[in-house]
Amino acid sequence: MTAENPIGLVLGSAVAPEDVPGAAATAEACGFDEIWLAEDYFFTGGIAGASLVLGNTSNITVGIGVVSAVARHPALLAMELSTLARVYEDRLIAGIGLGVPAWVRQMGLHPRSPLSALRECVTTTKSLLRGETVDLRGDVFAFNDVNLVYPETGTPTPIRMGVIGPKMLQLSGEVADGSVLSVSAGHDYVRWAKARIEEGRARGGRTDAHPITVFAIYAVDEDGAAARASARAKLAFYRQNGSNGLTDVYGISDQMDALVKQGGYEAILQGMPEQWVEDLTIAGTPEECAAKISAFYAAGADSVALFPVATDRTEEIIRLTADQVLPRL
């Protein structure tokens, strides 16, 4: 691939921890540009996973995407990020979001103001990484003269936000160094999100680059129907929590919520139209997958990170993608 159209791979989550290092090494050898470690609760840890990947690869960019702003105090998060960044200079990207609300509520951590939590976490994490002392009693977090003994020494780690709704996207444009768009984002959503991000950038007077990475549910097979069938189950899993900004832009929120009310995951799996799979995942033959990836770039994405659904065949999927999909981009 080229720097103009980087292609990434999402590991973590449903990929067992012991399978992450080998998959990462294979992805680097096969020409992927980025590896992202998702932190879906309660699967594989994103920071620990990133450490595994960094230690088992040589040059590839590694993204942590995304960790919840409220699962770790920003001082702890900054400490972890700086530890990795000092050892693996210029290879790390950190993504911060709220996390799936249902999972955050399971831990009793859902903040009264998600916007305040994200703003405070992102801005203080960046300050601490720069070696600044933070003394703040905010709406969500408190700091009493906190500074890192070992702040970053190289190029600052980009802090991106993994967000969905309009106000969060505007906040990302204002305070973050890029955005990560969630799985099941459609092409129209990418265009809409980019416009909201630009509103925030204007508000914050930002003129620097703001790369947008799209995570995409991914299934590739010579049998396109089989690939779409496997992607369908993963899409149902991520949509069982109901509507949000992704579904609002796509125009299916009412239908989605009705399916959730009928029976959650199983109702969505059985009741979703095939067009949802077609529009909200990258699934099909190698040629079809390449076309869908290219469409994301055309919609405004700066990079696309593929989230394989066949986690028991991750390395096989990586090699198939390298052989038959990447050359078509």
Q: Tens digit of pLDDT per residue, the chain (329 long)?
A: 445 789 999 997 878 999 999 999 999 999 999 999 999 899 999 999 999 999 999 999 999 989 999 999 999 999 999 999 999 999 999 999 999 888 999 999 999 999 999 999 999 999 999 999 999 999 999 999 999 999 999 899 999 999 999 999 999 999 999 999 999 999 999 999 999 999 999 999 999 999 999 999 999 999 999 999 999 999 999 899 889 999 999 999 999 999 999 999 999 999 999 999 999 999 999 999 999 999 999 999 999 999 999 988 999 999 999 999 999 99
Amino acid at 82: S
Q: Find the length of the chain.
A: 329
Distance in angstroms (rounded) separating the CA atoms of residues 82 and 126: 10
Q: Report pLDDT for 164.
A: 96
> Is the CB of residue 190 less than 8 Å from the CB of residue 212?
yes
Other CB atoms within a 10 A radius of the CB of residue 154 amount to 12
> Is the CB of residue 50 less than 8 Å from the CB of residue 64?
yes
Distances (CA, A) of 326 to 8, 33, 157, 207: 11, 11, 28, 32
* 3-class SS letters over the chain: CCCCCCEEEEEECCCCHHHHHHHHHHHHHCCCCEEEEECCCCCCCHHHHHHHHHHCCCCCEEEEEEEECCCCCHHHHHHHHHHHHHHCCCCEEEEEECCCHHHHHHCCCCCCCHHHHHHHHHHHHHHHHCCCCEEEECCCCEEEEECCCCCCCCCCCCEEEECCCHHHHHHHHHHCCCEEECCCCCHHHHHHHHHHHHHHHHHHCCCCCCCEEEEEEEEECCCHHHHHHHHHHHHHHHHCCCCCHHHHHHCCHHHHHHHHHHHHHHHHHHHCCHHHHHHHCEEECHHHHHHHHHHHHHHCCCEEEEEECCHHHHHHHHHHHHHHCHHHC
Q: Where are the domains of the chain?
A: 7-224+281-328, 225-280
Distances (CA, A) of 262 to 79, 169, 237, 245, 316: 44, 31, 15, 21, 37
Distance in angstroms (rounded) separating the CA atoms of residues 257 and 328: 37
Closest-CA residue to 129 (of 176, 93, 81): 81
> Is the CB of residue 214 less than 8 Å from the CB of residue 190?
yes
CATH class of segment(s) 7-224+281-328? alpha beta
Closest-CA residue to 34 (of 5, 9, 64, 66): 9
Q: Which residues pair with 95 in a beta bridge?
A: 160
> Is the CB of residue 288 less than 8 Å from the CB of residue 224?
yes
Strand 303-308 to strand 142-146: parallel, antiparallel, or no bridges (unpaired)?
A: unpaired
Q: Report pLDDT for 13.
A: 80
Distance in angstroms (rounded) separating the CA atoms of residues 39 and 69: 12
